[in-house]
Structure 1
């Protein structure tokens, strides 16, 4: 959307509610684009999973609850966050191949390889709410912010545990100079 000011067109930007983040372009993920077969199958899967939730109150058992919780921790924390993100994408630690492959296999079970997934809801909350409404402690060069619950890093504790028992090696940490350079609060910045 543009407005005309003395013959010039300038884009109109909107801010996100209760945030200083400015939206510079409108994203159109669903309308006016051609859907392919993966999109259709994924949409059917997501709708089916949500439909099954209607039966949850009638079939609830604590065993099923703890099994779901276990697979959430296994697939989400170990496999997506630790394996896909920190190990495979950033190479911030080294795992034995058998453990790296095991984590990657269970990461596939989280169904994040397709475009629209059930886990999109959680990802949206973390990447949107937590990174828009919060504080920015480090100068990362972007607008992402964190909330107190985002800074509680269970995956980091798992990496420390794996390192303590000898399964994680070459764990990369930022240097003190890098932390000072990226810190907003430091008055003694390194250039």
Structure 2
């Protein structure tokens, strides 16, 4: 609300009232990197892909997909997993996670993430597949990030792991 007042000397002054909400700083902890699990490409294919839903292995369905790859079994078996990020921030405030890229941290060189294929799951935003959620009353939240990883030809197999680069913003 503004009021216009004639001040001494013929000058006008305006009073304006305003309010602001100060949000506590958000912090993030990468609990688990994205893992394609132990896989190998099929035959002489130059590449293969592994599709890991954001909900895997938290929920068994939908299961990962393996176009032109196959999971390794036996002693070399390693299950795939979506990345898990734990967040703290303003209780009951909405947030958005902004994944900016991925860095390979383990496995046969040459793997890449198809950035447009990122999938998301946050228990506070379910069932919508969007990179957002809401901090609970204690200011805690978790978001899982899945996606499609493209593997370079590797008929012997390895466990490829990718680390996300991300920021968080309040909505």
Which has the larger strand fraction?
2
Which has the larger helix fraction?
1
The interval holding the TM-score normalised by the smaller chain is under 0.3
- Higher-Rg structure is 2
- TM-score calculated relative to the size of structure 2: 0.23
Q: Which has the higher contact order (CA 8 A, sep 6+)?
A: 2
